[in-house]
A and B are shown apart, each in its own frame.
Chain A
Amino acid sequence: MRDLAIETSGLVKTFGKNRAVDGLDLTVPAGTVYGVLGPNGAGKTTAVKMLATLLRPDGGEARVFGHDVLREPDAVRSRVSLTGQYASVDEEMTGMENLVLLGRLLGHRKAAARDRAMRLLEAFGLTEAAGRQVKNYSGGMRRRLDIAASILNTPDLLFLDEPTTGLDPRSRNQVWDIVRIVVAHGTTVLLTTQYLDEADRLAGRIAVVDHGRVIAEGTPGELKSSVGSGSVHVRLRDAAQRPEAERVLAGELNTQVHLEADPVALTARIAGEDADAGAERASRALAALAASGIVVDDFSLGQPSLDEVFLALTDKALTDKEMEETAA
């Protein structure tokens, strides 16, 4: 059996009446990137804070590499690092000082801490900025310093809490590359994100979280196929033709068509298991639109977005619950 980096069962954290984490079950194998995907307020950060021993769980159990987070916090702390949603570095200090400070706190002697800091700054492309206060760094640089600080002692488990939120595309790519290299060296990464795209690119497995619970879990492929093979997005030239287009699409794709706020746009989710069948159906739908004399400006077949995966999954969760209730 493979080692487990994280194992939680029925984890609960409440803030007043708000159940931020409400019975979370996670199983994260060691040596992988595990994505925790969910909207703001889903309880991702709260869950990470409990796993990193920053918050005490109100119920349930959580183990990190077999160590209970409540009973053996120091054993957990010696194996994990956290890069929080907001940069966990000291703004008033320079990049160098930040890393030397942490190096000393991790037990390195002064010379060793300086040496390690210098090598990390170089590996993260921050040598030039080493002597500048962090408050003068760009968002991407700050994030890189933050990750550098997290791997000062290469951790066995690295928590990355929304590492790319607010970054420009180039900085985001840098962070993604760094994550891939870190994982290739044997560190397990727990990545929280609100972007399906990001989880898709980095994570081996994903847990979709909403209202503090896991509502779906699997590989990115499994999750996407569970909500159909994709969506058709159509833009018309003439808004007046939209009712007609809606009728044609609904008939051809045999699914419900969603009218966007934009008066010329329609979206339809294609039900079905595999992507090839979806593409075939979409092309038939396009032909049918043309045959009905509807002018289409833009027609695209896309993977389901997080919104769609999410709506589909929450809908499903609701229906399942209703069915359980009727059965009971």
Chain B
Amino acid sequence: MSATTTETGTSFVPAADTLGAVLAPGARPPRPGALSASLTFGWRAMLKIKHVPEQLFDVTAFPIMMTLMFTYLFGGALAGSPTEYLQFLLPGIMVTSVVMITMYTGVEVNKDIEKGVFDRFRTLPIWRPSTMVGYLLGDAFRYTMAATVILVVGLVLGFRPQGGVVGVLAAIALLVVFSFAFSWIWTMFGLLLRSEKSVMGVSMLVLFPLTFLSNVYVDPQTMPGWLQAFVGVNPISHLVTAARSLMAGSPDAGEITWVLVCGAVSIVVFGALTMRLYNRK
């Protein structure tokens, strides 16, 4: 404990007049709307990033590593050269990295509920899901950042998307929207499981098969039939296909719709489960 801490801690004498002045019941403002409350919680998430910037490591270093690793590891073998492979891999590795990062949402939620501050939020007369939406808004910023980092690395390594600026931005937007929707599964686990470690464990168990058993790295035609069936229904494959089509400048409306519907279902199902747990905690 520093000297100043002790000083302010001991010299303070509560004064009836100054305290009385802040206690005087002024007009209470109307309760904030759903959007305003959510944005305020989003601001809290941004403040946390400001105070602990190290946590941005996972949205900068990790994606760079993933891109470099897989481009040079598989590039020569699968496509003749890393640059060739990168044209195929980049949208997929972007999806993989961002979807992997979504699991930190659950970890954050789980860490927070251990602390008393959660109890305070829960006694506020605000739109109940706003706390969770706030987390996800902060995370959406992180997803955007990771996607941007990968894009930059890709461009440096020779990725030349046919879809141009608009196509690439649309792909990133779709990815961030899907990740926001998908993250509700992690808020649910964050509230459901007892420790950070178990949240991590479950996340890995879900994310590894989901991202690897997809069309991110190789053409599914080379896989056995049963695996092709799984890859075919895997939402990540659809997201990758949609993102590739956007970046290539030939948007696949069917796949994009599939992804948006899948996201909507995720919000409805896991959002409802999250709020049920939140209210009962």
On A, residues with C-beta under 8 Å from B are 49, 52-54, 56, 74, 77-78, 80-82, 84-93, 97, 101-102, 104-109, 112, 116, 119-120, 122-126, 128-129, 133, 136-138, 140-141, 144, 149, 151, 153-154, 170-171, 174, 177-178, 181-182, 184-187
Contacts and interface: CB of A to CB of B under 8 A. Distances in A.
Given A107-B29, A128-B8, A141-B9, A119 B120 contact: no
Contacts of A52: 119, 123
A89 B40 contact: no
A102 B44 CA distance: 10
Nearest to A79: B125
Nearest to A142: B9
A141 B116 CA distance: 16
Given A93-B51, A101-B40, A80 B32 contact: no
Nearest to B280: A56
A117 to B, nearest CB: 10
Contact of A107 (B21, B28, B119): B28
Contacts of A102: 120, 124
Contacts of A133: 51
- Greatest chain B CB density within 10 A among A49, A82, A181 is at A181
B19 A105 contact: no
B4 A128 contact: yes
Contact of B52 (A88, A92, A137, A138): A92
Interface residues of B, number: 50
7 contacts: A104-B32, A122-B18, A138-B9, A140-B10, A154-B23, A174-B13, A184-B20
B29 A151 contact: no
Contacts of A109: 29
A104 B226 CA distance: 53
Contacts of A171: 9
A105 B124 contact: yes
Given A89-B116, A178-B19, A141 B8 contact: yes
Given A90-B115, A124-B14, A186-B25, 10 more contacts: A84-B116, A101-B43, A101-B47, A123-B15, A123-B18, A124-B19, A137-B5, A138-B9, A149-B120, A171-B9
A105 B32 contact: yes
B14 A181 contact: yes
A107 B124 CA distance: 11
B126 interface: yes
B89 to A, nearest CB: 37
A101 B130 CA distance: 13
Given A138-B9, A170-B10, A90 B117 contact: yes
Contacts of B13: 125, 174, 177
B44 A93 contact: yes
Given A53-B123, A93-B44, A181-B16, A112 B23 contact: no
B22 interface: yes
B22 A120 contact: yes
A141 B86 CA distance: 55
List the 5 closest pairs (A to B, CB-CB), nearest first.
A125-B12, A107-B29, A88-B116, A88-B120, A77-B125
B116 A181 contact: no
Contacts of A49: 119
A92 B31 contact: no
A134 B10 CA distance: 17
B123 A82 contact: yes
- Greatest chain B CB density within 10 A among A88, A109, A128 is at A88
Interface string B44-65: 1001100110000000000000
A41 to B, nearest CB: 19
A78 B30 CA distance: 11
B221 interface: no
B24 interface: yes
Interface in B97-146: 115-117, 119-126
Contacts of B121: 105
B248 interface: no
A251 B77 CA distance: 100
Nearest to A93: B47
A133 B43 CA distance: 16
A54 B281 CA distance: 8
A185 B18 CA distance: 12
Contacts of A53: 122-123
Given A107-B28, A184-B16, A140 B9 contact: yes
B40 A105 contact: yes
Contacts of A81: 123
Interface in B130-166: none
Contact of A178 (B14, B36, B115, B119): B14
A302 B12 CA distance: 32
A56 to B, nearest CB: 7
A122 to B, nearest CB: 7
B47 A108 contact: no
Contacts of B12: 124-125, 144, 174
Contacts of A137: 5
Interface string B203-228: 00000000000000000000000000
Contacts of A86: 115-116
A88 B119 CA distance: 7
Nearest to A159: B123
Given A101-B43, A136-B2, A129 B8 contact: yes
B280 A126 contact: no
A158 B52 CA distance: 33
Contacts of A170: 9-10
Contacts of B22: 116, 119-120, 123, 151
